[in-house]
Structure 1
Amino acid sequence: MNERLVETTDGLRLAVYEQGPADAGTVVLIHGYPDNHSVWDGVAEVLAERFHVVSYDVRGTGESGVPDSTAGYRLAQLSEDFTAVIDAVSPEAPVHVAAHDWGSIQTWESVTAPALSSRIASYTSISGPDLGMATAWLRERGHTGSTLRQLAHSWYVFAFQLPLLPEAMVRSGLLSRFVGGGPRPVKDQVNGVELYRANFLGKLVRPEPRPTDVPVQVLAPRDDAYVTVPLQTEAPRAYASSLVTRVIEGGHWVVATEPEQVAGEIAAFIEKVGVL
């Protein structure tokens, strides 16, 4: 595995990791909260047999730089980070992207940006809906039961808006016990709370979902404890013109627990799209 540092538009440096044949099609893997790039290790190993696989530590995590304010975690900046990474690793050819949890949430910002539509060949989203699409779906009539179930699953989102409480949960170990999926550095857990503070309330007030023509595959784990299957599979229908949804077996951290299954789904979708 090769490692490089990529500079962002606001002067941070992102730790970027590459493996697989350099002359193959590029697949970018983006992690969520409270993980770093290593949550993709099993998937990356499988995909690297055929593809140039790139993962990176999202700002505030792993070996990447840490913003000095909550504003540094806004979706627009995260999209600029993604652009900086693909400019560095695949400047001339479009990339395939797979993302999980907050990695998926932030990547929707890029997938629905007209300026990036030609840079993204396909997008596989796992357990991370677009916030604008999710808010619009929650406001729709006709699925009250599904809405209430999702709100019950999302209680922590509102707790993360409070000052001091999330940080106290992290340092006491309570958050790790709640989240599951193995131990993570305290720094990554604390910094990642700012993702919620920087983005959720604004999207609740003004969702403004945007359409996309990028081919999108949604993989919805059946036993996800945080994002329900209806939200994942139904919210993008009105906005993604080329959408495939699949319910897969597993829980929220399926990318770590079932890497061969996830890698197989990503590779099959890339083959279906037919852009390498």
Structure 2
Amino acid sequence: MRREVGNRHPVAASARTRLVRNGDISLAVYEFGPADGIPVVLVHGWPDTHHLWDGVVPLLSDRYRVISYDTRGYGQSSAPTQVSAYELNRLATDFFAVVEAVSPTEPVHVVAHDWGSVQVWEAVCEPGADQYVASFTSISGPNLDHLAIWMRRGVRSGTPRGIRGALSQCLSSAYTTFFMLPVLPGLFFRLVGTEKMWKLFLRVVEGTSPDQISLAPTLKQDMISGLRFYRANIIARMVAPRERRTTVPVQLLVNTRDIAVRPAGYDDTAEWADQVVRHDLLRGHWLPYSDPAAIAGYADAFIQAKSE
């Protein structure tokens, strides 16, 4: 890679918008805060868009240049129909394209959630990634290779703790089997993929008030398009995980009530990253909605520590 050098808060000042190209993919990018501030890139997951960060942006954009974008398949960005277009290596190139466009001479700090974190994990494990990324705060999105290796070790250990951990993660990930089925999940989300139903789901499962949740008008098509992330990557990574390391400093915000990823799944992260800081939070999966102040606080402290 080349390198030449609480309640939902209102979103800070209107975004500066642009489109970033990565080959035939167009990515909608939104910038907030001072143009000369330290760059911080926010990356969302399923089924969200850059609006996931509406509560976080105003808490960071008073001192940082905050950049969010709709990843491919979501919002105002391109949504190719081929499943192969959503393989992690391709998503990583989108991320690097955004970084090159918004900060061509300075590494960025990254905060990512869910599939946003999964794809940034892919990126930061590439050779030379530390030229692009100064720090990475990961929320509810593991490196799939690392997770698969951890689960295999748990089963092979023969210990009750190891086997229990792997089985617990399998149960938490059971929904992905449905997501990878042909036809049926698409029909399901065409019927129930409404703002009202999604906010009800988050309230029942996580106790999140509807006024804390920011959704794009493209929610239904994003839910359906985003299924390709699961189909393109889950089986491939579980069957043939790779040993992937990073020199980028990593901060883990581990939500102990996460319905999708069990906290123990991050226990081996220090094996794969040179620098790891971990914070366990008594929260559910969608931390950007339920507690944006926690994200802003931990991210700010980590960024400051890595900027000294």
Same fold by TM-score greater than 0.5: yes
Counterpart pick for 1:180 among 169, 181, 202: 202
Q: Does 1:126 align with 2:139?
A: yes
Q: Equivalent residue for 1:240?
A: 273
Q: Equivalent residue for 1:264?
A: 297
Q: Offset of 1:8 from its aligned partner?
A: 1.2
Tell me if the contact between 1:129 and 1:235 (Cα under 8 Å) persists in the aligned partners.
no
Tell me if the contact between 1:21 and 1:51 (Cα under 8 Å) persists in the aligned partners.
yes
Identity between Structure 1 and Structure 2 (%): 40
State how far apart, in whole Å, the 1-side matches of 2:16 and 2:220 are. Answer: 26
- 1:147 partner SS: helix
- 1:42 partner SS: coil
User: What is the root-mean-square deviation in Å for CA atoms of aligned residues?
Assistant: 1.7
- Using the TM superposition, name which of 37-46 and 127-136 deviates more: 37-46
Q: Does 1:158 align with 2:185?
A: no
Greater than 6 Å deviation, 4+ residue runs? none
State how far apart, in whole Å, the 2-side matches of 1:151 and 1:179 are. Answer: 22
Q: Equivalent residue for 1:8?
A: 22
| Equivalent residue letter for 2:103 | S
Tell me if the contact between 2:193 and 2:220 (Cα under 8 Å) persists in the aligned partners.
no
- Using the TM superposition, name which of 187-196 and 202-211 deviates more: 202-211
Q: Offset of 1:149 from its aligned partner?
A: 1.1
Q: Offset of 1:130 from its aligned partner?
A: 0.4
Counterpart pick for 2:54 among 30, 41, 60: 41
- 1:237 partner SS: helix
Counterpart pick for 1:106 among 109, 113, 119: 119
State how far apart, in whole Å, the 2-side matches of 1:75 and 1:59 are. Answer: 11
Q: Offset of 1:249 from its aligned partner?
A: 2.7
Q: Offset of 1:4 from its aligned partner?
A: 0.4
Q: Equivalent residue for 2:263?
A: 229
For structure 2, the 5+ residue unaligned runs are 1-14, 204-212
Q: Equivalent residue for 2:9?
A: none
| Equivalent residue letter for 1:240 | A
Q: Does 1:200 align with 2:219?
A: no
Q: Equivalent residue for 1:191?
A: 225
Q: Offset of 1:205 from its aligned partner?
A: 1.4
State how far apart, in whole Å, the 2-side matches of 1:133 and 1:165 are. Answer: 30
Q: Equivalent residue for 1:95?
A: 108
- 1:97 partner SS: strand
Q: Equivalent residue for 2:11?
A: none
State how far apart, in whole Å, the 1-side matches of 2:129 and 2:53 are. Answer: 24
For structure 1, the 5+ residue unaligned runs are none
Question: Structure 2 length as normaliser, TM-score?
Answer: 0.85
Q: Equivalent residue for 1:254?
A: 287
| Equivalent residue letter for 1:149 | S
